């Protein structure tokens, strides 16, 4: 789980604080001078509810000499207010799907590791069926080549058995079934790990509606998720 400093907590509520981003692409850093624009679609909910396994998408335009095909992109953010500058916090790991180059500018479309779950699950016949949900999540993470965020185990419904599919279900569909049984949704965390988010325990990776100085807007004392 990501930890932030006292300075970060102070800056996020201070007027005139701005965010500064940098990107690491295959080990090469690109900062403000290189970035033209970027946006992230976290895709946590198609509609508010449970049973989703959402893929986040990064669109980035920047100046660079060369962007390798299929490169890994790490996104970082820090807070700046006058002379006060926070630490860098990682905000996503993405894999380039498409890239184009024109007039010195690279435009990149990249997705997080949930995209790797879009393949048919072919279970190992030596594994038991139904599988325990924690064993299934570990197996799906292995097939996706990611780690499991430890917060997942707190949200997981251990009474749900994962049956071997009789149809061509993808890993993502199986994750959706587990998420629905657990009253939550799967995402890829800011550190690139598979994370089950319970509806009552939103982590920093989700997006609350906030006012201009970073404080959460509430309705009847409840934070509003967007």
- Domain check: are 80 and 127 in the same one? no
Tell me the pLDDT of the chain (226 aa) as tens digits. 568 899 999 999 999 999 999 999 999 999 999 999 999 998 665 556 789 999 999 999 999 999 999 999 999 999 999 999 999 999 999 999 999 999 999 999 999 999 999 999 999 988 889 999 999 999 999 999 999 999 999 999 999 999 999 899 999 999 999 999 999 999 999 999 999 998 766 555 554 444 444 455 454 444 444 4
Compute the half-sphere exposure of residue 56: CA atoms within 13 Å on the CB side of its CA: 27
- End-of-domain residue from the set 59, 82, 114: 114
Count of domains observed in the chain: 2
Rg (CA), the chain: 19
Q: Does any domain span residue 217?
A: no
CA distances from 182 to 37, 123, 159, 173, 193 (A): 37, 22, 9, 14, 18
Q: Does any domain span residue 173?
A: yes
CATH of the domain at 174: 3.55.50
Q: Does any domain span residue 50?
A: yes
Angstrom distance (rounded) from CA 210 to CA 207: 9
- Domain check: are 75 and 106 in the same one? yes
Burial class (CB within 10 angstroms; exposed 0-12, middle 13-18, buried 19+) of 3: exposed
Q: Which is nearest to 52 in space by CA: 99, 114, 126, 132? A: 114
Q: Does any domain span residue 42?
A: yes
């Amino acid at each position: 789980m990501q930890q932030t400093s006292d300075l970060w907590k102070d800056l996020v509520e201070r007027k005139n604080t701005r965010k500064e981003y940098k990107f690491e692409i295959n080990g090469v850093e690109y900062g403000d001078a290189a970035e033209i624009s970027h946006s992230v679609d976290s895709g946590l909910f198609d509609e508010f509810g449970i049973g989703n396994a959402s893929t986040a998408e990064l669109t980035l335009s920047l100046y660079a000499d060369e962007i390798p095909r299929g490169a890994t992109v790490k996104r970082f953010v820090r807070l700046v207010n006058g002379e006060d500058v926070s630490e860098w916090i990682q905000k996503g790991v993405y894999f380039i799907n498409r890239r184009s180059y024109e007039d010195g500018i690279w435009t990149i479309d990249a997705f997080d590791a949930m995209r790797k779950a879009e393949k048919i699950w072919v279970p190992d016949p030596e594994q038991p069926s139904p599988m325990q949900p924690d064993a299934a999540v570990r197996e799906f993470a292995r097939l996706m080549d990611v780690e499991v965020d430890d917060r997942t185990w707190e949200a997981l419904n251990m009474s749900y058995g994962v049956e071997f599919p009789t149809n061509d279900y993808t890993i993502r569909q199986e994750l959706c079934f587990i998420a629905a049984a657990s009253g939550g949704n799967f995402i890829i965390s800011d550190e690139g790990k598979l994370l089950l988010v319970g509806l009552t325990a939103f982590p920093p990776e989700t997006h609350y509606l906030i006012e201009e100085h970073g404080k959460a807007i509430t309705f009847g004392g409840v934070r509003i998720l967007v």
